[in-house]
């Protein structure tokens, strides 16, 4: 019998502290007007010291497990998508597994930058389809506030911290992921990266003052690639799901920039009213942006049983991923 992986629970968690554009404009040479007109972002959440990656991820997961109406013991695999783990070693997924009291379930991290959640969805779906697992917790959490250069106005205004989670469970009806298209173009690594701090250019006492230990980005180049790859992979995912674009009820794109989303939607020839956007309040939360938006879309009653949702994301690597989900549990 064929197996499917329905999304049966969803949750999110963001830091308490709201940082507005005006607050940033008091610290660096920027303005609310510039940030809003170039990106659509109005404010973002920034984590305090007690709100590290596993804390937000665990809170989002607890909400998802509660909404799924299952006991934590029912989960047999934990996947965390993050580029900003609690510690460089070991994986933070195991911390979440222990915090949630999920006994002995497998746990690992996925690193695919902003595309991490949709990558994780494909992995979780494949694991359930194969029959290897029945109930999987997929959580995405990123705290870019820790890797940003807060003196670099080109990047620090764009991101926020947060976590989003889903629970996937095996079903025999065609629910959940209908298609997924993953891609990568490593030749563009230098357009969005942290140069120093890994094994290639290690951090040391002598070089730890250098700016290249922070996130850097060529915004205009990223902008073009993001639109191109999200559009192409979305079209492919819709086709592979056996659908026409007008059968997509809701698009939940990676929440990086409103202008990227507007151009993308035009290319896909889907009316803007079918797009969910919440980046005004959170900025770009990297891997967490799609599940946070998904969670808010469900809670606002924008998804109904049988609806087709297109998820599409793009991030460092470059990586990108698009997927079509049939909603319902």
Q: Known catalytic residues?
A: 114, 254, 284
Q: Stretches 46-54, 134-142, 197-205, 212-220: which one binds ligand COA (CB under 6 A)?
A: 212-220
Q: Which part of the chain contacts ligand COA (CB under 6 A), choosing from 85-93, 116-124, 217-225, 233-241?
A: 217-225
Interface of this chain with ligand COA, residues 69 to 88, rule: CB under 6 A: none
Is residue 226 close enough to count as binding ligand COA by CB under 6 A? yes
Residues 249/271, Cβ–Cβ less than 8 Å = no
CB of 184 to ligand COA, least distance (A): 14
Does position 216 bind ligand COA by CB under 6 A? no
Question: 266-273 long-range CB contacts below 8 Å, 24 or more apart?
Answer: 267/227, 267/231, 268/231, 268/234, 268/235, 269/245, 270/245, 270/246
Asked if residue 270 binds ligand COA (CB under 6 A), the reply is no
Q: Does 40 bind ligand COA (CB under 6 A)?
A: no
Q: Does residue 39 bind ligand COA (CB under 6 A)?
A: yes
Q: 20, 27, 48, 154: which one contacts ligand COA (CB under 6 A)?
A: 154
Nearest CA to 56 among 138, 166, 162? Answer: 162
**Which residues, 307 to 326, sit near ligand COA by CB under 6 A?**
314-315
Distance CA 77, CA 23 (A): 41
Instruction: Confirm or reject binding of residue 222 to ligand COA (CB under 6 A).
Output: yes
Partners of 35 in the beta sheet?
none
Quote the Cα angle for 208-209-211, to 5°. Answer: 100
Angle at 118 between CA 53 and CA 10, to 5 degrees: 65
The verdict on 256 binding ligand COA (CB under 6 A) reads yes
C-alpha 45 chain-centroid distance:
15
Q: Edge to edge, what strands does the sheet with 106-110 contain?
A: 106-110, 77-81, 135-143, 161-171, 4-13, 176-184, 319-326, 308-315, 250-253
Strand-strand pairing, 192-194 and 106-110: unpaired
- Among 183, 197, 219, 245, the residue binding ligand COA under the rule CB under 6 A is 219
Closest to ligand COA by CB, 108 vs 223, is 223
Rule CB under 6 A: is residue 162 a binding residue for ligand COA? no
Q: Which residues lie near ligand COA (CB under 6 A)? A: 30, 34-35, 38-39, 114, 153-154, 157-158, 217, 219-220, 222-223, 226, 256-257, 284, 314-315
């Amino acid at each position: 019998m064929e197996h499917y992986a329905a999304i049966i629970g969803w949750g999110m968690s963001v830091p308490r502290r709201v940082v507005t554009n005006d607050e940033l404009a008091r610290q660096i040479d920027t303005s609310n007007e510039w940030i809003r007109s170039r990106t659509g972002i109005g404010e973002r959440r920034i984590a305090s010291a007690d709100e590290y990656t596993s804390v937000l991820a665990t809170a989002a997961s607890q909400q998802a497990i509660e909404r799924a109406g299952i006991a934590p013991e029912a989960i047999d695999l934990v996947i965390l998508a993050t580029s900003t783990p609690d510690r460089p070693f070991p994986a933070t997924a195991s911390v979440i597994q222990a915090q949630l009291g999920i006994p002995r379930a497998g746990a690992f991290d996925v690193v695919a930058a902003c595309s991490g959640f949709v990558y994780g969805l494909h992995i979780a779906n494949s694991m359930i389809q194969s029959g290897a697992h029945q109930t999987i917790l997929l959580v995405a959490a990123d705290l870019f506030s820790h890797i940003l250069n807060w003196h670099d106005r080109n990047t620090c205004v764009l991101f926020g911290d947060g976590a989003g989670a889903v629970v996937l469970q095996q079903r025999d009806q065609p629910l959940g992921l209908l298609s997924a298209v993953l891609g990568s173009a490593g030749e563009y690594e230098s357009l969005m990266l942290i140069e120093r701090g890994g094994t290639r250019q290690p951090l040391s006492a002598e070089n730890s003052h250098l700016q290249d230990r922070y996130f850097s980005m060529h915004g205009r180049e990223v902008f073009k690639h993001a639109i191109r790859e999200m559009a192409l992979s979305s079209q492919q995912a819709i086709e592979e799901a056996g659908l026409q674009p007008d059968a997509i009820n809701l698009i939940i794109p990676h929440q990086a920039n409103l202008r990227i989303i507007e151009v993308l939607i035009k290319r896909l020839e889907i009316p803007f009213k079918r797009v969910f956007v919440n980046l005004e309040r959170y900025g770009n939360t990297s891997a967490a942006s799609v599940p946070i938006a998904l969670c808010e879309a469900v809670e606002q009653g924008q998804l109904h049983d049988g609806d087709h949702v297109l998820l599409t994301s793009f991030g460092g690597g470059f990586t990108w991923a698009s997927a079509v989900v049939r909603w319902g549990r």
